[in-house]
Amino acid sequence: MTLPVVHVLFVDDDEDDYILTRELLTRPGLTTRYELHWCPHYEEARQALGGGEFDLCLLDYRLGVRTGLELLEETRGLHQRPPVILLTGQGDPSVDLAAMQAGAVEYLIKSELTAEGLDRAIRYALERRKNEERLRRDRDLIGRIMETSPVGIVVTDRLGRVTFANARAEQVLGGNRGAGAVIPHLSEWPLLNAESGAAHAPGVTLKQALETGRPVHDLRGLWDDGQRRLIVSINAAPLMDPAGGIEGLVVTVDDITERVHLEERLRQSQRMKSIGQLAAGVAHDINNVLTVIQGHAELLREAIPSGRPEERSVRQICAAADRAARFVRQLLLFSRKQVVQFKRLDLGQVLHNLAPMLSRLLGEDIHLELDCTESIPPIDADLGMIEQVILNLAVNARDAMPRGGQLRLATSLVSVQEAEVVRRSAPRPGAYVCLTVTDTGCGMDAATLARIFEPFFSTKETGKGTGLGLATVYGIVKQHQGWIEVTSQVGLGSTFRVYLPAASGPAGVSQDTEFQRRPRGRRQESILVVEDEPDLRELVQEVLLACQYTVYTAATGLEALGLWDRIGGGVDLLLTDVVMPQGIDGHELAERLRQRKPDLRVIYTSGYSGSLAGRQLQLRDGWFLPKPYRPGVLARVIRACLDSPIGAPPPPDLDSVLIEAGGRLTAPEACGSASEAHAAASSRSDQ
């Protein structure tokens, strides 16, 4: 077995002592093999002690005119000095004490030396040095951890006085005021309740932790020192002395302002998503009912001669149904279940086109200012929906300025970097066109600001707003892959910033179309209507029969397949709801029937476009007609579909009512025109 080797520097001006010591350290039975290097001179020894070549030094007290104590003092600051054992000819307590104070690890009397005793003393000295090195490394590591910790660490004494604060704590609690900036006593920390803003609550909790020794976990407080307001997370635990008493407090602090804001955005997003899902489901069912109401009301209006007293009542029914349909479309816009007709638009041109209408809408006591940056990219958006966003925001601003003021609409180009995506709630980095709407109105407090996009939330008195104006804006912007930022202060007005993805290429031109006539069918054309709502199915059948089509009806996909077999497949067009009971939806039904008749034309219909979610409908699959629709619209669309080649897109004059399944989805008629957006904004803007 090979013994470990220890290199020993022996400093003594007496060679006999060197020989004697060498003999002791080479006797058999020792646990270590020693290599002894003799150094008789003071200066030579001083240099050797700083060279880092030796594991231990045996130092004689007498070195000619100098002493070993002097050498100890002179080399005290050398980082590489090995452990030193002082040797002397006679015991002297004062020399022993002085040696220990100078850094010697042991003090031995030469006349009492034995091989085992010297071996043991050396081993203890080396072990002590290892422990000291380990402790030094641990302390150095702890110190570096404390200073580089991403969390602020503060230590106080028993009275709450700050005795230590790391760099992060000074940054969080002291701002940019440099080292020592942390307020020196816990009782003086400017902590407020993060929820209510009341004073003392977090500070009292820390005081109690210092008194009782009870730890504090994730205490959130508002730090307000007059220069900065930030939300901090505080954890604290008692610092115990060896006897188990409370010696002080260890406090960690972290600035969580950004995290709290992100959590609030997440909660708001989840809340809006839940409300949107509810709104979409309600709108789907209501659209079926509205289609029946609108259809029969229009049929009645056509049947009643002009001038009859009943004509006014029927017109009122039609008008009420139209208002209800607009209301439902706003629900769908908020829930992002409404479909969008994407066209390339110049946002500045849209603002200039709306300026005359906005001036009339705002009134003479509100000054309208347009500031449209030239040469900014266009956007891919639905013209009617973007007009509705502008009008709703303008009406919202008008209502915030009952005594007049100024409304400024501006456009600009903003570049969002990767690091800003989460903070700004942007869907992705890139270029965005920003619409800024600034008013000089009454402004909003924080509580109102947190709820402005919730549907049915309104600060108006009962009967003067449904609370859907800004909810609709929110839904439209989200549906266009954008986001909204709002800043407001009571008495100083509000600023809404709408960000929409920038597009490349020139802006296009939008056209809107109204339908006035109901085209009729041609001889022997037949239509299969599949609709699970009985009243709506009967209405559609009545309308199409009046247009001289042969009409077959079914309530489910299974019933439609059986009916197809009975009539031998003699059908020219399938008009089917997308979502139906009994396991076969409209898309699957169309696929099965197309296998039997490849040239079958298909028109899908549904109460909201969310029924198309997740379906990869191709152009050949058919067209999409959203509910509610009027009899004249239905007749026109069916006639156009029958006259178009299989797989052809809808003609341009149907853009305002039809949705091309699988292509760029287009918007229903009610959202396609500025006039209807104006009406909706005037009657339903929320705040």
Percent of the chain surpassing pLDDT 70: 82
pLDDT digits (tens, 9 = 90+) for 565-601: 999 888 999 999 988 887 888 889 999 999 999 989 9
Q: What is the pLDDT of residue 285?
A: 74
Q: What is the pLDDT of residue 668?
A: 32
Q: What is the pLDDT of residue 597?
A: 92
Residue 554 main-chain phi, psi, to 5 deg = -145, 150
* 527-541 mean pLDDT: 92
pLDDT band at 684 (very low <50, low <70, confident <90, very high): very low
Q: What is the pLDDT of residue 343?
A: 80
The pLDDT of residue 467 is above 70:
no
Name which of 353, 347, 354 is nearest 375 in CA terms. Answer: 347
- Report strand pairing: 550-554 vs 526-530: parallel
Q: What is the pLDDT of residue 669?
A: 30
d(CA 9, CA 49): 8
Q: Concatenate the DSSP letters of all residues of 473-507 into one string.
A: HHHHHHHTT-EEEEEEETTTEEEEEEEEEB--S--
Angle formed at CA 110 by CA 106 and CA 111, multiple of 5 degrees: 135
pLDDT digits (tens, 9 = 90+) for 391-433: 889 988 998 898 889 999 999 999 988 888 877 878 888 899 9
pLDDT band at 131 (very low <50, low <70, confident <90, very high): very high
Q: Which residues contact 132 (CB under 8 A, 6 or more apart)?
A: none
Q: What is the pLDDT of residue 279?
A: 67
Name which of 129, 81, 78 is nearest 105 in CA terms. Answer: 129
pLDDT band at 199 (very low <50, low <70, confident <90, very high): low
The pLDDT of residue 295 is above 80:
yes
Name which of 674, 675, 649 is nearest 661 in CA terms. Answer: 649
The pLDDT of residue 262 is above 60:
yes
Q: What is the pLDDT of residue 147?
A: 86
Q: What is the pLDDT of residue 562?
A: 92
Q: Which residues contact 274 (CB under 8 A, 6 or more apart)?
A: none
* 540-546 mean pLDDT: 90
- Which stretch, 172-176, 186-190, 212-216, 617-621, has highest mean pLDDT? 212-216
Percent of the chain surpassing pLDDT 90: 27
Q: What is the pLDDT of residue 362?
A: 86
d(CA 8, CA 84): 10
SS3 682: helix
d(CA 604, CA 625): 6
* 279-293 mean pLDDT: 76
Q: What is the pLDDT of residue 560?
A: 93
Residue 230 main-chain phi, psi, to 5 deg = -140, 155
Weakest mean pLDDT among 182-191, 276-285, 287-296, 360-369: 276-285
Q: What is the pLDDT of residue 206?
A: 81
pLDDT digits (tens, 9 = 90+) for 643-679: 888 878 788 777 656 644 333 333 333 223 323 333 3
Is it true that the peptide bond before 4 is cis, omega within 30 degrees of 0? no
pLDDT band at 522 (very low <50, low <70, confident <90, very high): low
Instruction: For 451-489, give one letter per residue: b (16+ CB within 10 A) or e.
Output: bbbbbebbbeeeeebbbbbbbbbbbbbbbbebbbeeebe
Query: Hey, what's the torsion of the CAs at 402, 403, 409, 415, to 10 degrees?
Result: -80
393 residue type, one letter: L
Name which of 511, 269, 272, 507 is nearest 411 in CA terms. Answer: 507
pLDDT band at 531 (very low <50, low <70, confident <90, very high): very high
Q: What is the pLDDT of residue 456?
A: 67
Exposure of 31 by Cβ count < 10 A (0-12 exposed, 13-18 middle, 19+ buried)? exposed
Tokens of 255: 């600035």
pLDDT digits (tens, 9 = 90+) for 205-242: 788 888 888 898 888 888 888 888 888 999 999 999 88
pLDDT digits (tens, 9 = 90+) for 443-460: 888 888 888 887 767 766
pLDDT digits (tens, 9 = 90+) for 298-350: 888 778 887 777 777 887 887 777 777 766 765 665 555 555 567 888 999 88
CB 626 within 8 A of CB 302: no
* 33-49 mean pLDDT: 92
Distance from CA of residue 576 to its chain's centroid?
Answer: 40
Chain mean pLDDT for the chain: 81
pLDDT digits (tens, 9 = 90+) for 483-520: 999 999 898 999 999 999 998 766 654 433 333 345 65
d(CA 593, CA 506): 42
More confident residue, 53 or 463: 53
Q: What is the pLDDT of residue 638?
A: 92
The pLDDT of residue 32 is above 50:
yes
Q: Which residues contact 410 (CB under 8 A, 6 or more apart)?
A: 370, 371, 372, 373, 435, 436, 438
Q: What is the pLDDT of residue 176?
A: 54
* 153-166 mean pLDDT: 90
pLDDT band at 198 (very low <50, low <70, confident <90, very high): low
